Structure 1
Amino acid sequence: MKTMTLLTGLLMTATAFTSHADEIKRIALPNSNFPISLAVSVPAQTDLLFVSGLLADLHDPQAPKDSFAAYGDTATQTTSILNKLKGVLQSQGLDLGDVVQLRVFLVGDPAKGGKLDFAGLQEGYTPFFGSVEQPNKPARTAVQVVALPLPGGLVEIEAVAARKK
């Protein structure tokens, strides 16, 4: 009986950490290989996980506190945030393949004349979505904002992930 209980527990744990992305319909952008979906359809029998906006972790502790250098450029901050998102999802038995929507808020980069660094966003984003390792593409919005709650922050990302009930 103990063996059966252990085996059931292991099976349930393994199942909890598998992607539910195959149950979600992703509508591709026509004639594009851009790493986002035009739309994402989520089945009615689905739990949604809403992840609050995440900010980057400290990148260079030697840089002045609250400076852009302390948190890195847009690509560095995007990578930091998506790794943090990956951890949040894993703690809930999900992975990046379960993400159905992202909202990205970008501050104009002083090093780029105050313009948003969309190329930097894409550099940090592309390894996580629409790649060979993780081909699923969420719907995504990216907008420029005046400031973020983190001095030195250039990027904030919030997410919605889905899993079948």
Structure 2
Amino acid sequence: MLMRTTLKTVGLVAGALLAFSVQAQEIQRVPAPNDFPIATSVSIPAGAQLHYLSGVVPSKDAQGHYGDTEAQTISVLKTIESNLKALGLGMGDVVKMQVYLVADPNKDNKMDFEGFMKGYQQFFGTKDQPNLPARSAMQVAGLVMPEWLIEIEVVAASK
């Protein structure tokens, strides 16, 4: 009788650990306070594959211009979205983002963080794509082309 009870207990404990293990293997995102659309941290489970994408810069529009920070952000994020799709991934798989913003001469030579956020929020924290990456945004002195106001690099994770 003791042997059956012990085996039953071992079976229940093993089942609970297996269930916990399955749940623990999900990517965990901790949202920022005050509904700011980033994750304060992202935990990647063992066995997940990480994909490091090189920095992406804006493309010219149909008129041959790069546009303001918002337009450049949308251009960059569309390219990142395309690059991820080629890997069988999507924007929801992005777990880390680094954003390099150049001072906008039309914005008192300060980075246009508001313009960046307007473009960013079209891709992250939406009803269709609620996953938020951990993110850093910084102002840099310049990028390779003087017209570029933004460069973004991302890390994505897949199971």
TM-score of the superposition, structure 1-length normalised? 0.79
The whole-number CA distance in structure 1 between the counterparts of 2:69 and 2:32 is: 25
- 1:89 to 2:84 alignment: yes
- 1:104 to 2:131 alignment: no
**Quick one: which of 16, 23, 26 aligns to 1:23?**
26
Q: Which residue of 2 aligns with 1:54?
A: 56
4+ residue segments displaced more than 4 Å: none
The offset of 1:106, in angstroms, is 0.2
Structure 1 gaps of 5+ residues are 1-21, 63-69
Structure 2 gaps of 5+ residues are 1-24
Pairing 1:39-78 to 2, within 5 Å after superposition: 39-62=41-64, 70-78=65-73
The whole-number CA distance in structure 2 between the counterparts of 1:144 and 1:60 is: 27
8 Å CA contact 1:27–1:37 kept in 2: the answer is: yes
Which secondary structure state, in structure 2, belongs to the residue aligned with residue 127 of structure 1?
coil
Greater gyration radius? 2
The offset of 1:29, in angstroms, is 1.3
**Greater Cα offset, 143-152 or 85-94:** 143-152
The whole-number CA distance in structure 1 between the counterparts of 2:61 and 2:36 is: 28
- Which letter maps to 2:66? Y
Q: Which residue of 1 aligns with 2:131?
A: 136
8 Å CA contact 1:55–1:150 kept in 2: the answer is: no
- Which letter maps to 2:127? V
CA RMSD of aligned residues (A): 1.2
The whole-number CA distance in structure 1 between the counterparts of 2:112 and 2:75 is: 16
